[in-house]
Amino acid sequence: MATFLSFFHLFALFLVFSPWANGQGSPKPDPSRSLRLCKVQKVTSSPGPTMDEIRFGLDRLLDGKLPKDGWRSTWTAWYQKDPAVTFDLGEIKRIGAIRVYFQAWAREDELKSVEIAVGLDGKTFFPFNEYGEIVTLQEKGTWVEMDLRAVRARYFKILPKFQGWGHQWGEVEFWEISK
């Protein structure tokens, strides 16, 4: 009987923690905030990805496919670099949240902070907010969500800061307020 209960408890723990252990799925729209996924027209970065940019370039950040946990999968990576990643939404939109799917590699707090700047013309950007204290498991993909409330802009610049290996990103989503 004790063996059965132990097995049962382990199985229950596996079911509870398996989504966490295998990374997270893409967040679903929040009906209470009336958010919908917004299409990005163009993405650029300076510097460009430093690890195998030809195969794992910036277009991978917008393809809707999450990379597998661990090395190397299809992560877009910047080794020992802090990029400025600029997203053009094509027109001015009211954005409620930005979500980045990333993987910490060398340390749990590898993504030290993320600064968001916004612009209307793609040339002049204004700092909006900085998000910090991002801690996760190493070698496990996870989403970080940055609440923007209701920022109106066409261009968004994401400026991450690393401590450790660098940056490994799998997907970036912009959630527009639809009401």
Quick one: pLDDT at residue 150? 93
Quick one: pLDDT at residue 12? 42
Quick one: pLDDT at residue 52? 76
Quick one: pLDDT at residue 31? 64
H or E segment and range at residue 6: helix 2-21
Non-local CB neighbours of 20 within 8 Å, separated by 6+ positions: none
Quick one: pLDDT at residue 9? 45
Domain spans of the chain?
A: 27-177
Low-confidence ranges of the chain (pLDDT < 50): 1, 3-24
* Residue 140 near residue 102 (C-beta atoms within 8 A): no
* Residue 172 near residue 67 (C-beta atoms within 8 A): no
Quick one: pLDDT at residue 120? 97
Quick one: pLDDT at residue 27? 52
Residue in the structure block whose two tokens are 């370039």: 57
Quick one: pLDDT at residue 79? 93
| Secondary structure E strands in 76-125 | 76-79, 84-103, 111-119
Cα gap 2→71, rounded to integer Å: 39
For the structural domain made of 27-177, what CATH number should be given?
2.60.120.260
Partners of 127 in the β-ladder: 117
